[in-house]
A and B are shown apart, each in its own frame.
Chain A
Amino acid sequence: MGQIVLEQVTKRFGDVTVIPPLNLTIEDGEFAVFVGPSGCGKSTLLRLIAGLEDVTSGEIRIDGKPSATIPPAKRGLAMVFQSYALYPHMTVRKNIAFPLRMAGLDKAEQDRRVTQAAEVLNLTDYLERRPGQLSGGQRQRVAIGRAIVREPAAFLFDEPLSNLDAALRVGMRLEISELHKRLKTTMIYVTHDQVEAMTMADKIVVLRAGHIEQVGSPLELYRAPRNLFVAGFIGSPKMNLITGPEAAKHDATTIGIRPEHISISASEGRWPGVVGVSEHLGSDTFFHVQNTGLGESVTVRADGEVGFKYGDQIYLTPRADMIHRFDAEGLRIA
């Protein structure tokens, strides 16, 4: 069981407040992703939960038990680090068995669990190697193996995929999601990559400067971002944010429209413009449209077969029901 509750948690390093009072509940079995730009306090928050840092004030309850006096090892949590943090002098087998050895399990039980974890993670052939002889993806799997053998109440992942190349990252993303579906254990995953957040999370926690900007499912955040920050952060390519007279027409200071909710046409539409750079992904093409009179350039997502060229005169039309409105404080207008 792994419900994690943060109540009025704060963290200060000297005079610098990294986490102002913060409340958050992560339900048992949930896959929660902390996402935000670097320096937003997401890793610090994870380390507070892990017990690697002490809270300045407030309370963290794991399974209903206040954790302030419980050392990291006794919290029943397992952590996967960005750098993998494998023990370089131990074989893969010994790396994975280390937490079991620390827990004082007998040798037979250790072997049984290591073998089982190795099977799950396709590491059986590598058990006698050292971390230095493994590829990045294999090292990451060893780190995960070391976490799962303990059967923890919750897993903590600190940007585990950011050292992997793009192709491997997609693969590991799926493996971790798969693992969550199978183990049904609480997972807290820290990343700065909103794609990872969107694809893996049950619940996304968007952080900025230690504040929670919004908590919700990926689609809630996508459909109804609570403020300009979340609107700009979630979704790729970024939402177009338009101010000025066009926004005023909608009784708002700023309006937002996602690239995929704008149609592009050569003959007619609401906003005239000129095609700038286009990025062809094959399935989709992103057009960066200039001279729309809306301020900055507008990004439009179109079908991969749409063929406008640099300098073409075109017209854009936003979908009326997909326009997000924000007030002068940057908050969403319902």
Chain B
Amino acid sequence: MARSVTTQRKTLNTAIAWGIGLVLFFPILWTILTSFKTEAQAIADPPVWFFFDWTLENYRVVQERSNYSRFLWNSIIIAGGSTILGMIIAIPAAWSMAFVPSNRTKDILLWMLSTKMLPAVGVLYPIYLIFIQLGLLDTRIGLTIVLMLINLPIMVWMLYTYFKEIPGEILEAARMDGAGLREEILYVLTPMAIPGIASTVLLNIILAWNEAFWTLNLTAARAAPLTAFIASYSSPEGLFYAKLSAASTMAIAPILILGWFSQKQLVRGLTFGAVK
């Protein structure tokens, strides 16, 4: 007999799922709500929820005081650039680990992951000095390279797990059909791995977009991305909560929209029907 779930049970499950979803989303919702309040309402106690004087004043002030588009452009270049650069390195690396593994492959993978356990601040000093030496401080190229290196282990790991799912026989078939290594990766592996590559790209853009430690420490003005834009409204004194919220909302909006639209692409699998 098929397992049946009662209606009550279903309703309960739905309620719980919505509850968890709301708890997770609450900080973002609160930030967005606050961005439409006046500074006084933003810190009102008890807090005001929906019934306040909705205003766009904060957005106007933020627009006036800082050049949003410059920060946005820097974010796009740094997040996009580090992702593209990372994929160029990660795809062949994950390919070799998944399809021509050596005895040490597992060790290398774990070692790469272990670098993520190092507190970033531990290498801030040496990297800062290197950046000064190379003249990379407050440059987009410098930041792109650092963010690429930071996220590379995750990219390789994700791609590795996706590539592992691709039947090796299909790649062997490509080899028999006359494909060289380049053609094999370009025409067979990559198209089949598109859902995996897409989610890796998206995750990496999100990680790079939200990365604050390095972007704040290695930039000043020229290369500063949206994280610096938010930080500039975070002040220990004065009434800045509403403006800070407006800046945050403007900073996360592009990535939120990107995530929303790419949901479907991420889920859809292309590899069905190849084998069996």
Contact = CB atoms under 8 A, between A and B. Distances in A.
Given A83-B167, A88-B192, A102-B183, A72 B175 contact: yes
A88 B175 contact: no
A195 interface: no
A107 B170 CA distance: 24
A205 to B, nearest CB: 21
Interface in B174-198: 174-180, 183, 187-188, 191-192, 194
Contact of A85 (B173, B183, B191): B173
A50 interface: yes
Interface in B254-276: 270-276
A73 B177 contact: yes
Interface string B148-188: 00000000000000000001011011111111100100011
Interface in B56-77: none
Contact of B273 (A79, A88, A99, A102): A88
B178 A130 contact: no
A168 to B, nearest CB: 14
Contacts of B188: 87
A88 B271 contact: yes
Contacts of B191: 87, 89-90
A139 B176 CA distance: 18
Given A83-B169, A85-B275, A52 B192 contact: no
A146 B177 contact: yes
B170 A73 contact: no
B106 to A, nearest CB: 17
Nearest to B270: A89
A188 to B, nearest CB: 13
A103 interface: yes
A99 B177 contact: yes
B270 A73 contact: no
A101 B191 CA distance: 16
B170 A87 contact: yes
A61 B129 CA distance: 60
A310 to B, nearest CB: 37
B170 A72 contact: no
B167 A52 contact: no
Nearest to A83: B275
Given A81-B173, A87-B192, A131 B178 contact: no
A82 B172 CA distance: 12
A100 to B, nearest CB: 9
A77 B177 CA distance: 9
B275 A84 contact: yes
A52 B171 CA distance: 11
Contacts of B176: 50, 52, 72-73, 77-79
A113 to B, nearest CB: 13
A98 interface: yes
B167 A85 contact: yes
A102 B174 CA distance: 9
B172 A85 contact: yes
B172 A102 contact: no
A130 B191 CA distance: 14
Interface string A125-157: 000001111101001000000100010000000
A146 B272 CA distance: 19
A201 interface: no
B103 to A, nearest CB: 10
Nearest to A99: B177
A74 to B, nearest CB: 8
A103 B167 contact: no
Contacts of A50: 176
Contacts of B276: 83, 136, 163
A58 to B, nearest CB: 21
Interface of B: 167, 169-170, 172-180, 183, 187-188, 191-192, 194, 270-276
15 contacts: A52-B172, A73-B178, A73-B180, A82-B169, A83-B275, A85-B170, A86-B273, A87-B170, A87-B173, A88-B274, A98-B187, A102-B183, A132-B274, A139-B273, A146-B177
